[in-house]
Amino acid sequence: MAAAAFETHDAILITDAQSNILRVNHAFTQITGYRAWEVAGMNPRIMSSGRHDADFYKAMWRQLLEQGAWSGEIWDRRKNGEIYPKWMTITAVKDEAGSTINYVAIFSDITERKRNEEEIRGLAFYDALTRLPNRRLFLDRLQNALAASARNGDFGALLFIDLDRFKVLNDTLGHDYGDLLLVEVAERIKGCVREIDTVARLGGDEFVVVLEGIGADREEASHKAGLVAEKIRDSLAHPYQLKEHEHYSSPSIGVELFHDGEENTDDLIKHADVAMYQAKNAGRNTVRFYDPGLQHDLDTRAMLENDLRRAIENEELQLHYQVQVDNERKLVGVEALLRWQHPVRGMIPPAKFIPVAEESMLIVELGDWVLHHACAQLVLWADDPLRSGLTMAVNVSAHQFAMHDFVEHLAAILQRHGVQPARLKLELTEGVVLNDIGDVVEKMRKLKALGVQLSLDDFGTGYSSLSYLKKLPLDQLKIDKSFVRDITVDQSDAGMVQSIIDMAKNFKHDVIAEGVETEAQLSFLKHHACLAYQGYFFSKPLPLEELERLIADWGSKLDD
């Protein structure tokens, strides 16, 4: 009877008290691939999968020693290397004195059961066509997102996406083509969001996206949600290749923010759905916020971007200049600053339009315009004794500097205008130089070979470190105005400014401080060996005509 019971469909393994294998049955060989003679005298750990850590085995042995038995799910490795799940029960066999003399392990392969469980779970929680979470899993994820928003105090957003004229595709080419489109749409949406965000299909041609942790400020969060929605809209509006057919489609997207757990899931979905229909009523292929105020902000930003695209051809851009002086209060240069004179809105502050230009990549075109006009102005000053020695500082954005042919493009601009390269100073932020230090250093060396000066702008506000600073072929460090503002009253700022000046001296760089507004600030900086200054104490940024008068007056004062 014992022999018959030993040869069951469950694998049986018997060890001695030291866990050395004494005997296994035929089912053990069928499941593991090991024959009895191959494992005799071996420790069962030869079948370990590596999926469980030491704590798992410690807990298992603790229960086995204390209670005499353990059972649970465990992953092991077959002889052929395949890892598989099994359900195992281990029992300690004791003698009359209560000492353990054997361990008996009985287990079964549960691979098929796990596969079935996964398939059932997939059917229950995932869309069969796109493999995205279905409505059931989406509602669970949304509820968790609301709870996390309440816990962390940040904003999230729900995007409701509906494909425009999807029914026409199904009616003309058939549902097979409609399914191909839906699969491609799912992939494109996933490519527009982060891994922590949820993309789900509610059914038909309706998709939803849950964005989490998009900022503690409402305006910032709405802006980020709008950017993602617009990115999805643009991606889904590109043509689709459905077998032999090229198909054009577009989405209508509704957006609703959530915060602090104030909304319930039903209201949130309803609001996003309403916003989606507002997008359809607005002509399709567009994004709409449920909140009219947020929609106004989005529309205003879009109008600003459209107007900015026309600003160059309409000659609405201009340069203003802020003077830079040395310790003798002699003019040594100017910084060229971009200004936008809108025909309707008047002078638009750079803080309003530069972020829009950065996000839309218009900053590259704007930067190119600034370089051309700055170089042209330097040429006009070349024969004037009061102006010919001035340097022209120009800000270069990260997108502009990242262009693979930036150095060659700048060289062409210098050659076209016939400007002396040493008169041009490019101001780079720390964000520019931290992207790819190897590529940055190579570009900077080529720029230096052209004869152009290089300044590190807003120094101290980013991630300054000696490890990269010593690699950069800079001419100058520019102390950010946020440190200069309180140097006479704040010991931390005073110490930071002193450190930057000392650092510049050690690396043999010039140093200039921006944002100088008082005599006290100037005295402090001069006392601590700063070399040059820029700020309202000397002059605000001026249009060219006013700058010309200032330079003439400055020269006559020095002569006096």
| This prediction's pTM | 0.56
Q: Considering only CA atoms, which of 380, 441, 454 is closest in space to residue 410? A: 454
Given a contact cutoff of 8 angstroms between Cβ atoms, the answer to whether 499 and 519 are in contact is: no
- Cα separation, 515 vs 517, in Å, equals 6
> Within this chain, do residues 146 and 179 fall inside the same structural domain, yes or no?
yes
SS3 324: strand
Q: Provide the CATH number for the domain around residue 264.
A: 3.30.70.270
Given a contact cutoff of 8 angstroms between Cβ atoms, the answer to whether 144 and 197 are in contact is: no
> Within this chain, do residues 42 and 167 fall inside the same structural domain, yes or no?
no
Asked, for residue 338, whether it belongs to a domain, the answer is: yes
What residues have CB less than 8 Å from 507, skipping those under 6 apart?
Answer: 469, 470, 474
Model pLDDT for residues 409-432, shown as the tens digit of each residue: 999 999 999 999 999 999 998 777
DSSP annotation string for 80-101: TS-EEEEEEEEEEEE-TTS-EE
- Cα separation, 28 vs 103, in Å, equals 15
Domain final residue, candidates 80, 115, 150: 115
DSSP 8-state secondary structure symbol assigned to residue 239: -
N- to C-terminal Cα separation, the chain: 121
Asked, for residue 153, whether it belongs to a domain, the answer is: yes
> Within this chain, do residues 398 and 466 fall inside the same structural domain, yes or no?
yes
CA distances from residue 43 to 18, 47, 119, 228 in whole angstroms, order as listed: 9, 9, 35, 55
- Please tell me the predicted confidence (pLDDT) of residue 523: 94
- Please tell me the predicted confidence (pLDDT) of residue 122: 63
Given a contact cutoff of 8 angstroms between Cβ atoms, the answer to whether 51 and 83 are in contact is: yes
> Within this chain, do residues 402 and 551 fall inside the same structural domain, yes or no?
yes
Model pLDDT for residues 5-56, shown as the tens digit of each residue: 577 789 999 999 999 999 999 999 999 999 999 999 999 999 999 999 989 9
Q: Considering only CA atoms, which of 309, 449, 458 is closest in space to residue 369? A: 309
Tokens of 317: 């851009």
Q: What burial class does residue 252 get, using C-beta atoms within 10 Å of its C-beta: 0-12 exposed, 13-18 middle, 19+ buried? A: buried
Model pLDDT for residues 350-373, shown as the tens digit of each residue: 988 998 888 778 999 999 999 999
Model pLDDT for residues 130-171, shown as the tens digit of each residue: 999 999 999 999 999 999 998 888 999 999 999 988 988 888
DSSP 8-state secondary structure symbol assigned to residue 479: E
Domain final residue, candidates 66, 82, 115: 115
> Within this chain, do residues 407 and 525 fall inside the same structural domain, yes or no?
yes
- Cα separation, 377 vs 380, in Å, equals 5
What residues have CB less than 8 Å from 263, skipping those under 6 apart?
Answer: 146, 256, 271
1 pLDDT tier (thresholds 50, 70, 90): very low
Tokens 């006013």 appear where? Answer: 546
> Within this chain, do residues 218 and 169 fall inside the same structural domain, yes or no?
yes
560 pLDDT tier (thresholds 50, 70, 90): low
Domain that holds residue 153: 126-290
Tokens of 407: 């150095």
- Please tell me the predicted confidence (pLDDT) of residue 2: 57
Given a contact cutoff of 8 angstroms between Cβ atoms, the answer to whether 275 and 254 are in contact is: yes
Model pLDDT for residues 77-125, shown as the tens digit of each residue: 999 999 999 999 999 999 888 899 999 999 999 998 888 777 777 667 8
Model pLDDT for residues 52-71, shown as the tens digit of each residue: 998 999 999 999 999 999 99
Asked, for residue 463, whether it belongs to a domain, the answer is: yes
Asked, for residue 184, whether it belongs to a domain, the answer is: yes
Given a contact cutoff of 8 angstroms between Cβ atoms, the answer to whether 457 and 395 are in contact is: yes
Handedness of CA 167, 168, 173, 177 (dihedral sign): negative
Asked, for residue 297, whether it belongs to a domain, the answer is: no
Tokens 């704040």 appear where? Answer: 490
Asked, for residue 41, whether it belongs to a domain, the answer is: yes
Tokens of 411: 């060289």
Asked, for residue 429, whether it belongs to a domain, the answer is: yes
CA distances from residue 353 to 300, 361, 374, 468 in whole angstroms, order as listed: 11, 12, 20, 31
- Cα separation, 521 vs 513, in Å, equals 10
Please count the structural domains in the chain: 3
Mean residue pLDDT across the chain: 89
**Beta carbons within 10 angstroms of residue 292's beta carbon:** 10
> Within this chain, do residues 38 and 74 fall inside the same structural domain, yes or no?
yes
> Within this chain, do residues 131 and 164 fall inside the same structural domain, yes or no?
yes
Radius of gyration (C-alpha) of the chain in whole angstroms: 35
